[in-house]
Structure 1
Amino acid sequence: MAIHAVRTRLVASALASGAAVLGLAVPAQATEQPLPYVALGDSYSAASGVLPLDPSASLLCARSTANYPHVIAERTGAALKDVTCGGAQTKDFAGSQYPGVAPQLDALGADTRLVTLTIGGNDNSTFINTILACATAGVLSGGQGSPCKTQYGDKFSGDIDSKTYPAVKGALQAVKNKAPKARVAVLGYPWIMPATARSGCFLKMPIASGDVPYVRDIQTHLNSAVRRAASETGATYVDLAAASEGHDACQPIGTRWVEPALFGTNFVPVHPNARGEAAMADLTMGALGLG
């Protein structure tokens, strides 16, 4: 029996050595468990409007398999649980957004190690109200002046400060509580409008020339609120401002990251296209040191 045991060990050792010589040894990383990754958030995380749609998601969420969480998971080998959903607000983290759609926080657990999200743009209907109100005012003014700023003043920014900021902070803290061992990355929103009016943009984004910087300032205010909430809850803020400069909705196809309200390629306007989602993935991975 002793001789047999020795022979068995020698044979096993020889086989292992031969496999190593032939390059067949299993790499160390193959034995590691994939990174448990949960993607939360709204339509900018879901890539609503970009095809193909995720068949595992409710059609109401319009989630794409080309969204930045899927890109990150593909590049890193992470085990992705994607619960992003178009139209999501901070309240949908703890409550069901649509029938049959579970609260987003339900996807988190003690084993979660990475969380990414965009959130806050739909609270108080900030994005949609700003675009609709300013586009309506722009059309009525023939694209001249700053009728939206004149009519609404600091209303949108005031709502962001008094309502959106504390809601985002609370949502991020809830994420931390549910997934205490996870790295949490919250992304800012890429630029929708350029810093100043540009020739030809009014046909795609009917915002009056004087309201272009006004709309941009509202987005700056929102991103600053998200950054502040991230800092105060220990999350990583992924700043898209510099990188998305020159990739706004007024740019031509192939350059823009966000599609315009009119004559765009997405079936959901004023949202990131596939190029924008890929860029968001790049910037998030860079901020987290992944890949």
Structure 2
Amino acid sequence: MIASGSRYVALGSSFAAGPGISPVVDKAAGRSGRNYPRLVAERLGLDLVDVTYSGATTAHLLTDRQDDAAPQIDAVGPETALVTVTAGGNDLEYIGAFIRGSLMNTLAKPATLFGRRVANRIRARVSYLRDDTAYDETTARLAEIVREIRDRAPSARILLVDYLAVIGPMTRPRLDVPLNEEQLPSVALMADRLAGVFAAAAEQSGAELVAVSGVSKEHAVGSAEPWTTGFSLRSPRLGGVVPYHPNEAGMRAVAEYVVRQLEDGPA
């Protein structure tokens, strides 16, 4: 268990930052005041340093600046007692491909007026699959992040928190998931392989794994209580959502699983 008042550093991309969830505490980073790191810190009374940043890749965690922000790893020091890491999806263009595919399908629908061939050409502009090398490289980078954290904070607990499921058994093509029955399995495969990246990185590095990807499939888009958003062309300011990202319920669920891990060990 992490003692109250301990330093907690949160690293990651938008699935940790929480874009679109009010209140926004850092507009450039798309960082919410109700993301899972904030909820965990409040629950356990931790001293949070939240450097999560929407759009971050593993390179932004390790070596690269993002806008005016330093590499996220710089926030980790000897006094750090807990680090959570949620990153890697942007390396694989996971959600990016999902959003582009949904946009292209939305555009292709009216294009059928010009013929099915035109519509299919629009849909075909998005590829949902990556080769094995991309997944292996992302696994290696996540493991490298863990090793670098351990060098900077030898006593810290390090949790790899993977991605909430967007596609699940109840997800079907519809207005807020504008993909067809042939495209959805490809997105689901990308999600499963990303979950495998986290599991492999945890095994290679010795980090703890919080595998919310599996337990959240029953709460994917189309379920009675979704933990992620669907597709929308409207921004949150106009009543829309950030497509295919955690919602408030999802962030609460991730925080609960992280706290359980810290208090009781792996589920």
Classify the TM-score, shorter chain.
0.7 to 0.9
Aligned length: 250
What is the match of residue 15 of structure 2? Answer: 44
Identical aligned residues as a percent: 29
1:222 to 184, 194, 202: 194
Contact kept in structure 2, 1:160 and 1:222, CA below 8 Å: no
Question: What code does the residue aligned with 1:260 have?
Answer: G
Q: Distance in 2 between matches of 1:61 and 1:150?
A: 29
What is the match of residue 67 of structure 1? Answer: 35
Contact kept in structure 1, 2:227 and 2:250, CA below 8 Å: yes
Label 1:140 to 1:122 Cα distance change in 2 as closer, same or farther (>3 A).
Answer: same
Contact kept in structure 2, 1:134 and 1:208, CA below 8 Å: no
Q: Distance in 2 between matches of 1:125 and 1:74?
A: 32
Larger Rg: 1
Question: What code does the residue aligned with 1:211 have?
Answer: Q
Q: 1:129 and 2:100 equivalent?
A: no
What is the match of residue 150 of structure 2? Answer: 176
After superposition, residues 13-28 of structure 1 pair within 5 angstroms as none
Q: 1:167 and 2:141 equivalent?
A: yes
After superposition, residues 67-86 of structure 1 pair within 5 angstroms as 67-86=35-54
Task: Tell me how far 1:33 sits from its aligned partner.
Answer: 6.2
What is the match of residue 212 of structure 1? Answer: 184
Label 1:197 to 1:206 Cα distance change in 2 as closer, same or farther (>3 A).
Answer: same
Task: Tell me how far 1:149 sits from its aligned partner.
Answer: 9.5
TM-score by length of 2: 0.83
The CA RMSD over aligned residues, in Å, is 2.9
SS in 1 for 2:159: strand
Q: Which structure has greater strand proportion? A: 2
Q: 1:261 and 2:235 equivalent?
A: no
Question: What code does the residue aligned with 1:257 have?
Answer: W
Q: Distance in 1 between matches of 2:93 and 2:103?
A: 15
Question: What code does the residue aligned with 1:236 have?
Answer: E
Q: Distance in 1 between matches of 2:75 and 2:34?
A: 20
Label 1:266 to 1:82 Cα distance change in 2 as closer, same or farther (>3 A).
Answer: farther
Label 1:268 to 1:119 Cα distance change in 2 as closer, same or farther (>3 A).
Answer: same
Q: Distance in 1 between matches of 2:254 and 2:45?
A: 17
Task: Tell me how far 1:52 sits from its aligned partner.
Answer: 0.2
Q: Distance in 1 between matches of 2:50 and 2:183?
A: 36
Contact kept in structure 1, 2:164 and 2:216, CA below 8 Å: yes
Label 1:33 to 1:215 Cα distance change in 2 as closer, same or farther (>3 A).
Answer: closer
Label 1:135 to 1:169 Cα distance change in 2 as closer, same or farther (>3 A).
Answer: farther
1:234 to 192, 197, 206: 206
2:221 to 249, 272, 275: 249
TM-score by length of 1: 0.76
Q: For residues 171-217 of structure 1, what are the alpha-carbon distances to aligned partners after superposition, in whole Å with 9 as ceiling and x for unaligned?
A: 2222222221100011111111124653xx42101111122122111
Q: For residues 73-128 of structure 1, what are the alpha-carbon distances to aligned partners after superposition, in whole Å with 9 as ceiling and x for unaligned?
A: 11110111111111111111233433431211111011111011201001142320
Q: Distance in 2 between matches of 1:167 and 1:118?
A: 12
Q: For residues 224-280 of structure 1, what are the alpha-carbon distances to aligned partners after superposition, in whole Å with 9 as ceiling and x for unaligned?
A: 11111012111111011342122112235xx11101112786642211011100100
Answer with 210-219 or 189-198: which moved more: 189-198
Q: Distance in 1 between matches of 2:249 and 2:81?
A: 27
1:277 to 251, 255, 261: 251
